Amino acid sequence: MATEIPIIMIREIAYTYPNGTEALKNINLNIFKGELVAIMGKNGAGKTSLIRTLNGLIIPTQGNIYIDNESISSKSIATLSKKVGIIFQNPFHQLFSNSVEEEIKFSLKSFVLDKEEIQIRINKILHEFNLEKYRKRSPLNLSGGESKKLAIASIICRDPEILVFDEPTLGQDAKEIEFFINLIKNERKRGKTIIIITHNIEFAYEYLPRTILMTDGQIIADGPTKEILNNEILIQQTSLILPQIWQFRSALKENNFPKTGDILSKNALISYIRNYLKNKSLKI
């Protein structure tokens, strides 16, 4: 990894909105191909502004961004969106076609593909996302969960190298989140780089290896998720809360349970309690 060039290189970018709000201040960031990264922070910290710079929706007022070792400053959004697929929070901001099939077709419009190839891609994506039964249905008649899937499908069918999700687990139950987790696992296997903005601490802790913490338009931490979410000062600064595992460990420590410092992971916690309970029952 040391000799590899990051697929995304952000060098000292800053951005101020026309109304004067400084959304991004001196951001420096490297993301390597195949990584799975979480971006977390308070509302208004600059997370969505940052991802918008990746496909050209926002052009930084200073600094440079390189994707695949090429500067993106002169590229159009249409071009960049082929490399960077951003899936925003609200699927109803994009669904408009007469049918689910048409919706996918629309996403493929900017690619030069013959009719057969388009049909193949549509079939494949509908199958992958379990939306085949809704093929002819209007996207506006889908349930919340299905429409979110369709929104994701309509970006993934374009096969971008980099996938960016804005709050994908919002309002989702366990089975929908499980589908999403499998989805990102599959995409990762295919070599895609995935960036996820999330507030879901437990989700990030469990599935996202690297976390970037933002506050006030700046990156204040960047590293392994498990470490960062264990840092009480950082947690406080960014309006997050400790994952339950660490909360539990703190509570055990406060209640004078022995050797809580050994608990360094979820499995370690389970083992700890297991042993504790075994010892307890032996004493009786």
Partner 1 sequence: MSLEFLNAFKFMKKNSILHNLDPRAKLVFSIVYTICALLFTEIIPLLFIFLSLVPLILIGKLFKQWIKSIRGLSFLIIFIIILNTLFISLSFAIAMILRIYIMISAFSIFFLTVDPNDLALSLISMKIPYEFAFAFSLAFRFVPTIANEAQNILDAQQSRGYEMQKKGLINQIKNLFPLLIPLIICSIKRAFNVAEALESRAFGSRKERTYYYSIKYTLKDWIFTMYLLLFLTFTIFIRIQFNFLPEFLMWSLPV
Partner 2 sequence: MDLIKFENFYYRYKGNEEYALNNINLKIEDNKFILLCGETGSGKTTLIRCMNGLIPQFYAGFYKGKVEFWNGKNTVETPIADLSTEIGIVFQNPENQLIAMNVEHEIAFGLENLGVPVKEISKRIKESASITEIEHILDKAPFELSGGEQQRVAIASILVLEPKILILDEPTALLDPYMANKIINLLNEIKSEKNISILISEHRLDLILPFSQQIILIKNGSIIEHGYSEQVINGINFQTLRLNKPVIYSIFSTLKKENLYNKNIPASIPEAVRSLK
Per CB under 8 A, 257 contacts partner 2: yes
Q: Which of 189, 150, 176, 152 is nearest to 36 (CA)?
A: 189
Contact 236, 215 (CB under 8 A): no
SS3 of 20, please?
coil
Q: Provide the mask over 29-48, with x wherever binding to partner 2 is found by CB under 8 A and - wherever it is not.
A: -------------xxx----
Is 82 among the residues that bind partner 1 (CB under 8 A)? Answer: yes
Give the nearer residue to partner 2 in terms of CB position, either 230 or 239: 239
Residue 176 binds to partner 2 (criterion: CB under 8 A) = yes
Of 26, 92, 178, 267, the residue at the interface with partner 1 (CB under 8 A) is: 92
Nearer to partner 1, 86 or 213 (CB): 86
Does residue 77 bind partner 1 (CB under 8 A)?
yes
* 273 makes contact with partner 2 (CB under 8 A): yes
For the residues of 90-156, what is the DSSP string, one character each? -GGGT--SSSHHHHHHHHTTTS---HHHHHHHHHHHHHHTT-GGGTTS-GGGS-HHHHHHHHHHHHH
Given a contact cutoff of 8 angstroms between Cβ atoms, the answer to whether 170 and 89 are in contact is: yes
The contact pattern for partner 2, residues 212-251, with x = CB under 8 A and - = no contact, is ---------------------------xxx-xxx-xx--x
- φ, ψ at 12 (rounded to 5°): 50, 45
Binding of partner 1 by 53 (CB under 8 A): no
For residue 216, what are the β-bridge partners? none
Distances (CA, A) of 251 to 22, 77, 91, 228: 39, 49, 40, 19
Instruction: Check binding of 179 to partner 2 (CB under 8 A).
Output: no
Query: Closer to partner 1 at the Cβ: 154 or 215?
Result: 154
Q: Are 175 and 2 within 8 A, CB to CB?
A: no
According to the binding rule CB under 8 A, does residue 95 interact with partner 1? yes
Question: C-beta of 51: minimal distance to partner 1 in Å?
Answer: 10
Check residue 86 for interaction with partner 1 (CB under 8 A): yes
Q: How far is CA 196 from CA 35, 47, 139, 171, in A?
A: 11, 10, 25, 16
Q: Which does 86 bind (CB under 5 to 8 A by kind): partner 2, partner 1, none?
A: partner 1
Task: State the binding partner of 42 from partner 1, partner 2, none, CB within 5 to 8 A by kind.
Answer: partner 2
The conformation of residue 265, written as its DSSP 8-state character, comes to S
Per the listing, tokens 């995409």 go with: 187
Residue choice 49, 107, 193, 198 for contact with partner 1 (CB under 8 A)? 107
Angle between helices 144-156 and 100-107 (to 10 degrees): 30
Which residues are at the interface with partner 1 (CB under 8 A)?
Answer: 52, 55, 57, 77-78, 81-82, 85-88, 90, 92-96, 106-107, 109-111, 140, 154-155, 158
Which residues are at the interface with partner 2 (CB under 8 A)?
Answer: 42-44, 143-145, 170-178, 199, 201-202, 239-241, 243-245, 247-248, 251-252, 255, 257, 266, 269-270, 273-274, 276-278, 281
